[in-house]
Structure 1
Amino acid sequence: MDLRSLRYFLAVAEQGGFTAAAERLHIAQPAVSMAIRKLEQTLDLQLFDRQERRVRLTDEGEVLARHARHILQAVNDAERELHELHGLSRGEVRVGIPSMLGSYYFPPILMAFRQRYPGIRLEVVEAGTRKLQQMIHQGDIDMGVIVTDTPPDDLETHSFLRDQMMAILPRDHPLAHADNVSYDAFFAEELVLFKEGYFHREVIDRISREAGVTPHIGFEANLIPLIKQIVSHGYGITTLLAMVVADDPTLVARPFSPPVWLDLSLAWRRGHRLSRANQTFVDLVLEQATHRRDG
């Protein structure tokens, strides 16, 4: 029993005859008769009562017709959904992004994606990079942004941004007039930092261990507007990407000496085939990254 036979069978049942069914199907009438005869032989059942001029379904035929309608409808639905996905009119993207990038780097990308593919549902999860890796493994998100200084072997990564972590200072801070900020000078200050698990906190923890110092952490917060307010009022300094304070006249970004570079990538489970919607999102992120570098 194949789909073509079921389509021919339903056409005969709905048209009430083999000739009318053949006309609707745009095929020769003998082909319809042969397909129905083969279907009856396969099932070892009589599906039509042919004693009258207008053929009618037998009881067995009625049962098959009910199931055939469901089967063909399901096939049609599947074909339509696959066609829609191919055309990117439907689908879902679940991406995890740390708050710093989610607030200052990704909004134009997310809006561009939404404008191009309004039928695709976009779910954005905010979390630290370590949490995002865990969520990728658990299947809670399709992909996430991670730091790829030491990329995990079980994740496939595509780099989209290389940027410096900067010391962020009030404009009237003595270090604000320096060309750069040494690690010793930075760690001599009271610090405002993200909580553990976020990439910018991990960078500071790593540098402090390498320098053999214990940071003076006055505030821990994951709310970037709060961090900026605390720093601008002189209650500590922090480290962020320069894009975060680019439009804030009360804050100054200065590079570290030696500089601290971050390589950020989109990551997903290695060996996991991305859906067309997810692959399209990755392509857009990489496309925007290329435009950013070239611009």
Structure 2
Amino acid sequence: MEFRVLQYFLAVVREESITRAAEVLHITQPTLSRQLAQLEEELGVNLFSREKRKIALTNEGVLLRRRAEEIIELIDKTERELLEEEALIDGVVSFGCGELASVQVLSDFIKSFHQKYPRVRYDLYTANADQIKDRMDRGLTDIGLLLEPVNIEKYDYIRLNVKERWVVLMPPDDELAKKDYVTAEDLKNLPMIITRRTSLRNELASWFGDYFKSLNIVFSHSMSTNAAIMVRNGLGYALVIEGAIPFWDKSKICYKPLYPEITATTVLAWKRQQPFSLATTEFIRHVKCLLGINK
């Protein structure tokens, strides 16, 4: 006996007509009649006494109506309770991330999760991947959005389909601002501000090639916004991930892509076999569901 067929049965009871019930249910009258006949055959009883002007219930039909109404009420109550249980999930989910384009994807995940669990709150810590991993290892941050290359052997993760592009920052009136892109040769004799992360420095060293050995590095940075302040004050040209730069004031800072292009990917990672709060566990499950990941 299917739940759907019980709904069909109750619709006929309410309308006292198969034709009117079919219209209400948006199915054809022959389809509805066939479903009712199959129900009677399955139960081995007659549910209706078909009179001239309307359909009346037999004693067996009256019993089924009572039970069907109880079943549907119980299912509706269960669905409401499950929704209420979801809404009761609260707590804090803590994230760590850099100034990355993939933060937009993370915000989309959080937005849809917050609609489902409005009582949950969020903590966002901004730093580089090494600092975020340290906080994750100490249990201070639940989930990290990490720029690769990064060692994630201790973590479960999801690699996001977002391209993070390296660019160079300069004042808007700089000669390099007139170019469509900037090469290693363009930068070889200029004061440079570059990332302090060793793995990312290795990526840049590969891009610069032989120029890197004699590069004039005047500053190291871990956040592109701070690097931009140094650029505005004429202290150098900063190599950063594009990330949040499109939201900055273009009259105060300019950026150009590198050529050949350097790009990176990001992973959404969390400590393997780490006990998490219910809110964090549900958030991870929510993201996997959105991305079609079953494990």
Taking structure 1 as the reference length, what is the TM-score of the superposition?
Answer: 0.55
Q: Does 1:132 align with 2:132?
A: yes
Q: Does 1:171 align with 2:172?
A: yes
Deviation at 1:243, TM superposition (A): 4.2
| Separation in 2, partners of 1:140, 1:181 | 39
- Percent identity for Structure 1 against Structure 2: 18
| Separation in 1, partners of 2:122, 2:181 | 40
CA change 1:258–1:280 in 2 (3 A) is farther
1:193-232 pair list within 5 angstroms: 193-194=194-195, 196-197=196-197, 203-204=203-204, 207=207, 212-222=212-222, 224-232=224-232
Q: Does 1:259 align with 2:258?
A: no
Larger deviation, residues 83-92 vs 155-164: 83-92
| Separation in 1, partners of 2:177, 2:94 | 40
Q: Which amino acid aligns with 1:231?
A: V
| Separation in 2, partners of 1:240, 1:261 | 11
1:96–1:127: 8 Å Cα contact kept in structure 2?
A: yes
Deviation at 1:215, TM superposition (A): 3.4
> In the comparison of the two structures, how many residue pairs are matched?
207
CA change 1:242–1:135 in 2 (3 A) is closer
CA change 1:126–1:118 in 2 (3 A) is same
- Where does residue 239 of structure 1 map in the other structure? 239
| Separation in 2, partners of 1:187, 1:108 | 38
- Where does residue 101 of structure 1 map in the other structure? 100
| Separation in 2, partners of 1:280, 1:174 | 51
Q: Does 1:277 align with 2:279?
A: yes
Deviation at 1:138, TM superposition (A): 2.9
1:109–1:285: 8 Å Cα contact kept in structure 2?
A: no
When the two chains are superposed, the root-mean-square deviation of aligned CA atoms in Å is: 4.0
Q: Which amino acid aligns with 2:235?
A: Y
| Separation in 2, partners of 1:205, 1:231 | 21
1:113-124 pair list within 5 angstroms: 116=115, 117-124=117-124
Map Cα deviations across residues 86-118 of structure 1 (whole Å, 9 max, x no partner).
4453132122122x2399748955973685344
2:164–2:243: 8 Å Cα contact kept in structure 1?
A: no
| Separation in 2, partners of 1:178, 1:280 | 47
Deviation at 1:122, TM superposition (A): 1.8
Name structure 2 gaps, 5 residues minimum.
Answer: 1-81
CA change 1:283–1:189 in 2 (3 A) is farther
Deviation at 1:141, TM superposition (A): 1.8
2:149–2:199: 8 Å Cα contact kept in structure 1?
A: no
Larger deviation, residues 211-220 vs 263-272: 211-220
| Separation in 1, partners of 2:290, 2:190 | 37
| Separation in 1, partners of 2:144, 2:238 | 25
Deviation at 1:135, TM superposition (A): 2.5
